[in-house]
């Protein structure tokens, strides 16, 4: 069954109609098939990375995750993230399975969907959503989960203020935001013509305002990290 969906765009996700459309994606056969394809791609690209510097690289799953969440919205994105994480752990185990890690996968996909689904995509939206994933998911949410993992599964203590991991996320943030903007600029239009993507993507120019936003968010993150380190 393929549900009839509107092409309406939303300025924000705080709308009943927004969530009604998001839930309706579960009834669209094309969307579910596309979601299955995105899950398969995420698994296939799990170990494919884009090198930026020695010991610093970008996981290519980022682009598939963002494109998928933009296409099928937050409701399907949550389900797809849970399935992807579970299958990834079963097919490519890298250690003991720890269920709470699924929440970081879900949170990342959810943030992408809330910013990009049925929206007028701008560089500012892309920068903000990537910042939220890197800071609030990869640092804030991931830290207590890692502490629990080390304590319950490995019987070890975990340094809550893991400076190398924090710095890695802060350094990668501007590169990931720019590359994601470039990817969506060219990937979305053909999918939009096929009726999969209902978001609108403009030229996505990296003008002075967007550069200042990138620099400002990176500086704020670095300052917060320095303040916390000094306090500790």
DSSP 11: S
Instruction: Cite the DSSP H helix spans in 92-162.
Output: 102-116, 123-132, 142-149
Q: How do the domains of the chain map onto residue ranges?
A: 16-231
β-bridge mates for residue 50, sequence order: 58
**pLDDT tens, residue by residue, 152-175:** 888 888 776 666 777 788 888 888
pLDDT category at 1 given cuts 50, 70, 90 is very low
CATH topology of domain 16-231: Arp2/3 complex 21 kDa subunit ARPC3 (1.10.1760)
**Pair of tokens at residue 107:** 């949170």
**Pair of tokens at residue 158:** 């975990």
**pLDDT tens, residue by residue, 174-227:** 889 999 999 998 888 888 888 888 888 877 777 888 889 988 988 887 777 677
Asked if 28 contacts 2 with a C-beta cutoff of 8 angstroms, the reply is yes
Predicted pLDDT of residue 204:
78
pLDDT of 4 above 80: no
The reported pTM is: 0.89
Comparing CA positions, the residue from 104, 111, 128, 41 lying closest to residue 73 is 111
């Amino acid at each position: 069954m393929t549900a009839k969906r509107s092409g309406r765009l939303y300025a924000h996700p705080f709308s009943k109609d927004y969530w009604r459309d998001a839930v309706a994606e579960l009834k669209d056969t094309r969307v579910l098939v596309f979601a299955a394809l995105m899950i398969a791609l995420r698994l296939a690209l799990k170990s494919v990375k884009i090198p930026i510097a020695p010991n610093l690289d970008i996981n290519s799953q980022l682009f598939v995750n963002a494109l998928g969440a933009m296409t099928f919205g937050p409701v399907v994105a949550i389900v797809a993230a849970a399935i992807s994480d579970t299958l990834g752990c079963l097919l490519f185990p890298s250690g003991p399975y720890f269920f709470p890690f699924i929440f970081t996968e879900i949170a990342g996909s959810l943030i992408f969907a809330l910013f990009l689904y049925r929206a007028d995509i701008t560089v500012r939206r892309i920068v903000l959503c990537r910042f939220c994933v890197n800071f609030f998911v990869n640092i804030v949410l991931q830290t207590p989960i890692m502490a629990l993992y080390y304590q319950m599964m490995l019987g070890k203590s975990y340094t809550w203020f893991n400076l190398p991991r924090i710095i890695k996320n802060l350094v990668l943030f501007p590169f990931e935001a720019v590359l994601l903007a470039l990817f969506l600029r060219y990937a979305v239009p053909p999918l939009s013509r096929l009726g999969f993507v209902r978001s609108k993507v403009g030229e996505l120019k990296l003008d002075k305002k967007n550069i200042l936003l990138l620099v400002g968010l990176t500086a704020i993150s670095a300052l917060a990290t320095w303040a916390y380190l000094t306090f500790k």
